[in-house]
Amino acid sequence: MVKLHEYQSKVILRRAGIRTPKGGAVITAGEARAMAIGIGSPVVVKAQVFVTGRAGKHLIHFADSPDDAADAADRLLKQSFDGLTMDCALVEERVKIEREFYVGLIIDVSARAPVLIFSPVGGSGIEEIAAAHPDQVIRQPIDIRHGLRDFEARDMCRQAGLTGKLMLQVSQFLMQFYEAARSSEARAAEINPLALTASGDLLALDARFTVDDYAVFRHPELNIDIAREFDRPPTKLERIAWDIEKSDYRGTFYFIQMETNFTKGQRAVGFHGNGGGGAMISMDALFARGFKIANFVDTSGNPPASKVYRAARLILSQTGIDGYFLSGSGVASQEQYHSARGLVKAFMDVPLNVPAVIRIGGNGEEQAIEILHRANGSFPAPVEAYGRDTTPDDCTARMDALIASYTPVDNPTPRTVPTAAEPYRFETVTGGTITYDHAVCQTCTTKACVHSCDPKILSLDGDKPVLNISREDAKRGGCTECLACEVECYFNGARGAYITLPIPGLEEPAHA
């Protein structure tokens, strides 16, 4: 689910015809001054962060003049909240309020329906009021075949004690609000407070929408650049990870950074899960043994080796980690040897300079373990691989022992892209390039690339590996980026194959 900031949520409301205070988002003090001049009245300047009770945290300021607004925005935008700088502030007209209400909508899994919530008391402390006076919170499950019907909206208002013109006004508002939530495919939406102004208008003073992340692609108007749930602006690596995920539909790659500043001796690990529930148990095992966890990554749902490779590269790019720990469900149906090859290529390219423990249970785990063990010794740090029969706790014990006994080498040399004397090249679906040096291939006795190619798109032309499909078809996905041709060539062939897989934003391997 993707949480939207207040200013983004208000865009949805305005599109549905719901009034919000005049104003908009700013990213500099100068913009805040100009916005306040345009509004032409005292303003309120609000930090755009995902916390409740912003007033009590000094994240909301009132400003009587454009200069005051500029000062307030400057203070907020330079402020660090939860270790992260704020992206923007919202500058809005200050409104005279007669009365406040609460309006919300959630997708209630047990009711199997959206449930609209209305309270005649809104504003700060609504949770406490609702707990103390449950009769003040009116709930209405909605049949999505009909939407919120007029009589249902009026009935909610009557239950809340509203009568006459106000009852009609609020019931119309509830219907507009439901349409706003439905049209944006919100999983949750809230206006608090909904203000009745001195001039008799209903105005959404504060709003929060949470949108289904799988629906984001249908809503370019929301300008959501990362369809992930964050309580803060995304980090550089999280942005890179999202760019990888959004342009490759195969499997799932989830990346979130949890901690960044580690001191020596904290035993921080880069965490790589493959399968949600098992990944959680594995993280608990790490915490129980006193490890710090730099990130949570999940690669599951049968991702290609290239996606696992990119995930591993991002994990290893974090400074201060002492170990690499992969563990997941243990019974994953995905073919784990693809993941193993993705890991091996990443460990060779970087190269791996922290010990790695890989618990890679599931389909093809014996082959995956063999691939990882075979590669051990090809990079500075050791790799140990285990299957489903080894518990996460036993694996964390091995992580502990390996970190204690390993001394990282100084400035390990990253692998370089070799220069091919007689290159045979084609491109892959995510912008990768596969090169076979036919001058080397002539000397190769195993032709391991052809035998290991999972979708069987390679054949021999004499003694040289070539595509048996067109280059266009290979690029359209005929080449599944299983990475077998390079990894098997490296360990069983004459090392004439090399694959480049770009990760925009991350340092790329240098050419020889």
Listed in sequence order, the DSSP H helices in 107-187 are 126-132, 150-159, 164-183
Of the candidates 244, 362, 454, 501, which one interacts with ligand SF4 according to CB under 6 A?
454
Which residue matches tokens 């995902």?
50
Q: How far is the CB of 286 from ligand SF4 (least distance, A)?
A: 32
457-486 footprint of ligand SF4 as x/- string (CB under 6 A): xx------x-------------xxxxxxx-
Of the candidates 117, 497, 501, 503, which one interacts with ligand SF4 according to CB under 6 A?
497
Q: How far is the CB of 452 from ligand SF4 (least distance, A)?
A: 6
Of the candidates 116, 354, 489, 503, which one interacts with ligand SF4 according to CB under 6 A?
489
Q: How far is the CB of 455 from ligand SF4 (least distance, A)?
A: 5
Q: How far is the CB of 470 from ligand SF4 (least distance, A)?
A: 13
Residues 233-272 close enough to bind ligand SF4 by CB under 6 A: none
Q: How far is the CB of 469 from ligand SF4 (least distance, A)?
A: 10
Q: Angle 305-316/236-246 helices, nearest 10 degrees?
A: 180
Of the candidates 27, 280, 466, 494, which one interacts with ligand SF4 according to CB under 6 A?
494
Q: How far is the CB of 502 from ligand SF4 (least distance, A)?
A: 15
Query: Cα torsion for 215, 219, 224, 228, to the nearest 10°?
Result: 0
Three-class secondary structure of residue 241 per DSSP: helix
Question: By C-beta, is 285 or 489 nearer to ligand SF4?
Answer: 489
Which residue matches tokens 């098992």?
278
Q: How far is CA 349 from the centre of its chain?
A: 25
Secondary element (H or E) of residue 34: helix 29-39
Q: How far is the CB of 458 from ligand SF4 (least distance, A)?
A: 6
Q: Which residues, 6 or more positions from 251, have their beta carbon under 8 angstroms from its beta carbon?
A: 299, 300, 301, 302, 303, 304, 307, 334
Question: By C-beta, is 192 or 480 nearer to ligand SF4?
Answer: 480
- Contact segment (CB under 6 A) with ligand SF4 among 94-102, 136-144, 404-412, 491-499 equals 491-499
- Contact segment (CB under 6 A) with ligand SF4 among 161-169, 177-185, 221-229, 454-462 equals 454-462
- Contact segment (CB under 6 A) with ligand SF4 among 58-66, 68-76, 381-389, 447-455 equals 447-455
Question: By C-beta, is 24 or 423 nearer to ligand SF4?
Answer: 423
What is the Cα–Cα distance from 81 to 297, expressed in whole angstroms? 24
493 binds ligand SF4 (CB under 6 A): yes
Question: By C-beta, is 233 or 364 nearer to ligand SF4?
Answer: 364
346 binds ligand SF4 (CB under 6 A): no
Question: By C-beta, is 234 or 493 nearer to ligand SF4?
Answer: 493
Question: By C-beta, is 430 or 452 nearer to ligand SF4?
Answer: 452
- Is the preceding omega at residue 414 within 30 degrees of 0, hence cis? no
What is the Cα–Cα distance from 115 to 141, expressed in whole angstroms? 4
Of the candidates 496, 502, 504, 508, which one interacts with ligand SF4 according to CB under 6 A?
496
Question: By C-beta, is 406 or 491 nearer to ligand SF4?
Answer: 491
Residue showing the smallest CB distance to ligand SF4 in the complex: 493
447 binds ligand SF4 (CB under 6 A): yes
Question: By C-beta, is 168 or 469 nearer to ligand SF4?
Answer: 469
Question: By C-beta, is 379 or 436 nearer to ligand SF4?
Answer: 436
344 binds ligand SF4 (CB under 6 A): no
What is the Cα–Cα distance from 445 to 42, expressed in whole angstroms? 80
Q: Angle 336-349/305-316 helices, nearest 10 degrees?
A: 40
What is the Cα–Cα distance from 438 to 420, expressed in whole angstroms? 8
Q: Angle 484-492/336-349 helices, nearest 10 degrees?
A: 70
Q: How far is the CB of 363 from ligand SF4 (least distance, A)?
A: 18
Nearest to 302 by CA among 428, 454, 453: 454
487 binds ligand SF4 (CB under 6 A): no
What sign does the dihedral 10-16-22-28 (CA atoms) show? positive
Q: How far is the CB of 495 from ligand SF4 (least distance, A)?
A: 6
User: How many of the chain's residues bind ligand SF4 (CB under 6 A)?
Assistant: 28
Q: How far is the CB of 270 from ligand SF4 (least distance, A)?
A: 25
Secondary element (H or E) of residue 337: helix 336-349
Phi and psi for 244 in degrees, rounded to 5?
-65, -50
Residue pair 327/289 in contact (Cβ under 8 Å)? The answer is no
DSSP labels, 390-452: S-HHHHHHHHHHHHHH--PPSSPPPP-BPPPSSEEEEE-TTS-EEEEEHHHHTT-SS-HHHHH
Residues 423-442 close enough to bind ligand SF4 by CB under 6 A: 434, 436, 440-441
Secondary element (H or E) of residue 242: helix 236-246
What is the Cα–Cα distance from 129 to 423, expressed in whole angstroms? 72
Q: Where do contacts with ligand SF4 occur on this chain (CB under 6 A)?
A: 434, 436, 440-441, 444, 446-449, 452-455, 457-458, 465, 479-485, 489, 493-494, 496-497
